[in-house]
């Protein structure tokens, strides 16, 4: 298991992290996690549409960065370190007009000063919508 102190994060604990920030405004919800992955979902609605009624690529990026960043936070000692986004990229592969999209993040590398996470965003049918890679910097807590 990759989680700090071998403590599996609960969706309730994860939800409290961004309760008043962008994830809440976009309707993101953490739904599950396993030994080396974390999953959140986001509605595809007026908050996350682009002008043509499809899921906005920026909303997908916000979801990817949120789930990957929270995953990174759950891996380090919170008394000593924080994780912050350093670089993110994404390929938007399929349009979605409504329903929910699900982002699952898994680490590719968990180093002392950087983490690299892969995030797959799928629609409700399990079809790949977006694939993203997020690099996090691991910084001392006092630099947050």
Known catalytic residues are 65
119 within 8 A of 133, measured Cβ to Cβ: yes
Task: Provide the 8-state DSSP code for 10.
Answer: P
Residue 77 to residue 128: CA distance in whole angstroms:
33
Residue 136 to residue 19: CA distance in whole angstroms:
21
Q: CA nearest 104: which of 74, 84, 131, 83?
A: 131
Q: CB atoms < 10 A from the CB of 39, how many? A: 22
């Amino acid at each position: 298991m990759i989680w700090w102190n071998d403590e599996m994060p609960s969706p309730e604990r994860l939800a409290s992290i961004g309760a008043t920030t962008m994830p809440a405004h976009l309707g993101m919800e953490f739904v599950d996690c396993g030994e080396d992955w974390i999953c959140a979902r986001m509605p595809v609605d007026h908050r996350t549409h682009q002008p043509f009624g499809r899921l906005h690529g920026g909303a997908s990026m916000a979801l990817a960065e949120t789930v990957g960043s929270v995953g990174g936070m759950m891996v380090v000692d919170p008394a000593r370190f924080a994780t912050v986004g350093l670089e993110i990229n994404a390929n938007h592969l399929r349009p979605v007009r409504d329903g929910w999209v699900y982002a699952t993040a898994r680490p590719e590398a968990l180093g002392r000063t950087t983490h690299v996470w892969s995030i797959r965003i799928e629609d409700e049918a399990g079809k790949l919508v977006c694939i993203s890679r997020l690099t996090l910097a691991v910084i001392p807590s006092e630099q947050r």
